Amino acid sequence: MIQHQTLDLTDLDPYETYEDCQFTVPSVPAKVTDVTLKRFRFTGALDGTEWLDCTLQDLDLANRSWANGVLYRCTFQACNLLGTNFLGSTWKHTQLVGCRGDYLNLSGARLTACGAQETSLREAALRDVTVTQGFVADRCDLEQASFWGSDLAGVDLATSTFERLEVDADAARLKGLVLNAYQAASVLSLFGVKIK
């Protein structure tokens, strides 16, 4: 384990754990593989960086930009992702676990076999998202999360909570969406259905 160091992001060694370190992100997109980062800080933009097989724990990325990034087989654990911008990113087998992701922006992202567990995604923007091989939100807070323009086939929200969810009132976009009975009543109201 490497602790309390200041390093360039491109100098990270695979299969190493870095704790309480500060990283400088180079001006050209970097590629990071097989590392665990705990409570790290960084200078520079993460936009366009590529992350493979990484675990990111207890990070504060609030209001940071990570647009057009690539994350494969990565896990965010107990991270502050409040307002983090992942616009246009590509995620495969990436998970959010116990994170705060209110106002997070994944609009235009491509998500393959991704999910979130026990994560707050209040008013998160998942607009025009392409979902492949499913997206499961397990015990998440999705109040006023927005899925406008997204085809929701394979999206499973059944164990999560919301009073209001922003989705298109278009049966083709909703086909394959998994909800519980209480949630379904909220979505059916978009089509003028009244449930007594």
Structure tokens at 38: 């705990």
Q: 25 near 49, Cβ under 8 Å? A: yes
26: which DSSP letter? P
Instruction: Return the amino acid letter for 154.
Output: G
25: which DSSP letter? P
| 3-class DSSP assignment, residue 182 | helix
- CA-based nearest residue to 74, from 61, 154, 44: 61
Our measurement of the distance from residue 34's CA atom to the centroid of its chain's CA atoms, rounded to an integer in Å, reads: 19
Structure tokens at 173: 């976009």
Q: Mean pLDDT of residues grouped by 10 in the chain (196 residues)? A: 90 94 83 94 89 96 94 98 97 98 97 98 97 96 96 95 90 92 84 74
Structure tokens at 101: 């992701």
